[in-house]
């Protein structure tokens, strides 16, 4: 995994871009059912002050600092421990402030993962920008670990951000298919939709995703 390309990706796509901009009229006709209704219920109960729900929420999300450490390690651990501690604080602060907007479209951990990754990449970008005057490009490249054998053509961070921009319900089907590892039949059952509709949504979602990631593929090749 290359943190240089991932960092570029972080700057190229806004996390909070209009989620429904690419949503087709037929997709907007009916709201998609919540894929992770129990997680949504947990967050709402915690937000209303239910002590049991708060405890469960803490338990579910206690892995966030470790998630950050693990991702940082996978990017070659370029930050000092105090910098990482600062990112951890920022990430937790951002996460809590956004928790009220959690819609249950992904599992809590998946939803959190996106923030953790985004905050880490933002920190890489900030660090590179601040050091541009004293560290030359070759030194930065030397710090970047060698590509892993399974280096994908499209950075996972870019994909994650672009799925957001695909919008619901097509993005929900893509998430359930790939991130929750559900078969189309299971997705159809969970959404209460005909199998053909789910497959069509998946196809349309992939097509939109392809359009959205295209500039990043070109950038990496260029």
Partner 1 sequence: MTRDDELLAKIVAGEVARDAGAARELFARRPELVRHVRELERLALGLDHAAREQRDVLAAARADVSQRDREHVRAALQAGPGVVRNGGGRATRLQWIAAAAVLLLAAGTWLALRGAAGDGSRQLLDGAGAIELVGGPSELRAGAVFEWRGELRGAERWRIELRERGAGGARGRLLGDFTCREASWSPHADDLRDLPAEVLWSVHRIDSGGISIEHSQPLALPVVR
CB of 185 to partner 1, least distance (A): 11
Q: Least CB distance from residue 219 to partner 1, whole Å?
A: 15
According to CB under 8 A, which residues from 65 to 94 bind partner 1?
A: 65-67, 69-71, 74, 82, 85-86, 88-89, 92-93
Contacts for 74 with CB less than 8 Å, ≥ 6 apart: 1
We find the least distance from the C-beta atom of residue 203 to partner 1, in angstroms, to be 3
Q: How far is the CB of 146 from partner 1 (least distance, A)?
A: 17
Question: DSSP letters along the chain, please?
Answer: --HHHHHHHHHHS-TTS-TTTT--HHHHSSPPPPTTHHHHHHHHHHHTT-HHHHHHHHHHHTTHHHHHHHHHHHTT--S-HHHHHHHHHHHHHHHHHHHTT--SSS-HHHHHHHHHHHHHHHHHHHHHHHHTTTS-HHHHHHHSPPPPTT--SS-HHHHHHHHHHH-TTHHHHHIIIIIS---HHHHHHHHT--HHHHHHHHHHHHHHHHHHHHHHHHHHH-
221 binds partner 1 (CB under 8 A): no
Cβ pair 39, 183 in contact under 8 A? no
- In the complex, the smallest distance separating the C-beta of residue 201 from partner 1, rounded to whole angstroms, is 9
Q: Which is nearer to partner 1, 32 or 187 (CB)?
A: 187
For residue 169, cis peptide bond before it (omega within 30 degrees of 0): yes
Taking CB under 8 A as the rule, which mask of x and - marks residues 112-151 in contact with partner 1?
A: -x----------------x--xx---------------x-
Q: In terms of CB distance, is 37 or 55 closer to partner 1?
A: 55
Instruction: Give the interface size with partner 1 as a residue count (CB under 8 A).
Output: 63
Contact with partner 1 (CB under 8 A): which of 22, 32, 35, 57?
57
Site for partner 1, rule CB under 8 A: 1, 43, 46-49, 51, 54, 57-58, 61-67, 69-71, 74, 82, 85-86, 88-89, 92-93, 95-100, 109-110, 113, 130, 133-134, 150, 152-154, 156, 159-160, 174, 177-179, 181, 184, 199-200, 202-204, 206-207, 209-210, 213
């Amino acid at each position: 995994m290359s943190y240089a390309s991932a960092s570029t990706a972080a700057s190229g796509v806004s996390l909070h871009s209009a989620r429904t901009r690419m949503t087709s009229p037929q997709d907007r006709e009916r709201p998609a059912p919540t894929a992770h209704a129990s997680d949504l219920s947990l967050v709402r109960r915690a937000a209303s002050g239910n002590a049991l729900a708060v405890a469960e929420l803490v338990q579910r999300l206690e892995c966030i600092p470790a998630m950050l450490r693990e991702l940082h390690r996978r990017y070659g651990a370029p930050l000092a421990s105090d910098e990482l501690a600062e990112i951890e604080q920022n990430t937790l602060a951002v996460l809590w402030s956004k928790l009220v907007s959690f819609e249950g479209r992904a599992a809590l951990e998946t939803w959190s993962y996106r923030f953790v990754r985004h905050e880490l990449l933002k920190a890489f970008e900030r660090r590179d920008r601040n050091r541009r005057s004293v560290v030359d490009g070759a030194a930065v490249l030397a710090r970047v670990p060698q590509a892993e054998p399974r280096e994908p053509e499209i950075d996972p961070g870019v994909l994650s951000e672009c799925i957001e921009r695909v919008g619901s319900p097509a993005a929900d089907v893509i998430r359930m298919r790939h991130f929750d590892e559900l078969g189309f039949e299971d997705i159809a059952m969970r959404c209460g939709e005909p199998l053909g509709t789910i497959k069509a949504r998946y196809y349309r979602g992939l097509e939109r995703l392809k359009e959205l990631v295209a500039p990043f593929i070109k950038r990496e090749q260029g």
